[in-house]
Amino acid sequence: MWARCSQSLNASGRPTGKPQWRLVNPTRQRRAMQQLRCQISFCPAETSRGYVFLAGAEEGPSCHGGEPVRTAQPPVCLKHVRPSLELCKHLRKGHLASPARATSTWGVIDSRYSLTVTGLQPLPTEDDDAPVEYGHPQLGWFLASQLVRELRDYEVISLDDLAALT
């Protein structure tokens, strides 16, 4: 089951207002991840070297790449890489860019619930942001809020190298 939230829409049905980076809209995040769309403009995010995913320097893939990496951050198109870095405080502290040629949906970030005599009750968790893999035996007891992708066949590059991508 997926979490839902309201959003402000303009007359043509597009979201309006200033982004609130810590308050992820579950529907928009899931659609951007499923369709590999830019998290800012929802335009196609594919480049000649794959889809560009940004991560904070402390949480991103190693500089050598290789091992699969999981992320809940949708890709960004080349036009919105710099605005993403300017608007997101988390990325301003340090960041990595990872074009990925191969990605797949892996699981979700969620809240776990239990059925009690008074109804569904949220369960405490040690790590709220720990992703849960599809196929987990208790996945039906989770309220998903973010889709997680696994990146494979990726590289870690500088922002200057992104300029060469089209």
Report the alpha-carbon distance of residue 112 to residue 157 in Å, rounded: 36
Q: Does one domain contain both 45 and 99?
A: yes
Q: Could you report the per-residue pLDDT of 60-118, keeping only the tens digit for each?
A: 665 555 689 999 999 999 999 888 888 877 787 778 888 999 999 999 887 777 778 98
Can you tell me the mean pLDDT for 9-34? 77
pTM beyond 0.75, yes or no: yes
Q: Does one domain contain both 92 and 156?
A: yes
Q: Does one domain contain both 133 and 157?
A: no
pLDDT for residue 22 = 59
Q: Quick check: is 15 in a domain?
A: no
Q: Could you report the per-residue pLDDT of 113-136, keeping only the tens digit for each?
A: 777 898 877 777 665 667 888 998
- For residue 114, count CB atoms less than 10 angstroms from its CB and return exposed for 0-12, middle for 13-18, buried for 19 or more: exposed
Q: Does one domain contain both 61 and 124?
A: no
- 139: Cα separation from own chain's centroid: 19
Lowest mean pLDDT of 42-51, 129-138, 145-154, 155-164, name the range: 155-164
Q: Does one domain contain both 68 and 135?
A: no
Q: Does one domain contain both 129 and 82?
A: no
Can you tell me the mean pLDDT for 27-49? 92
Q: Does one domain contain both 98 and 83?
A: yes
Q: Quick check: is 91 in a domain?
A: yes
Q: Does one domain contain both 32 and 113?
A: no
Count up the domains in the chain and report the number: 2
Cβ partners under 8 Å of residue 59, min gap 6: none
Q: Does one domain contain both 37 and 90?
A: yes
Q: Quick check: is 141 in a domain?
A: yes
pLDDT for residue 38 = 94
Q: Quick check: is 18 in a domain?
A: no
Q: Does one domain contain both 58 and 98?
A: yes
Q: Does one domain contain both 87 and 129?
A: no
Can you tell me the mean pLDDT for 4-14? 69
Q: Does one domain contain both 115 and 77?
A: no
Give me the chain's average pLDDT, please: 81
Q: What pLDDT band is residue 53 in, cutting at 50, 70 and 90?
A: very high
The parent domain of residue 135 ranges over: 108-146
Sequence-ordered alpha helix ranges (H) in 4-149 = 26-35, 81-87, 89-92
Q: Quick check: is 10 in a domain?
A: no
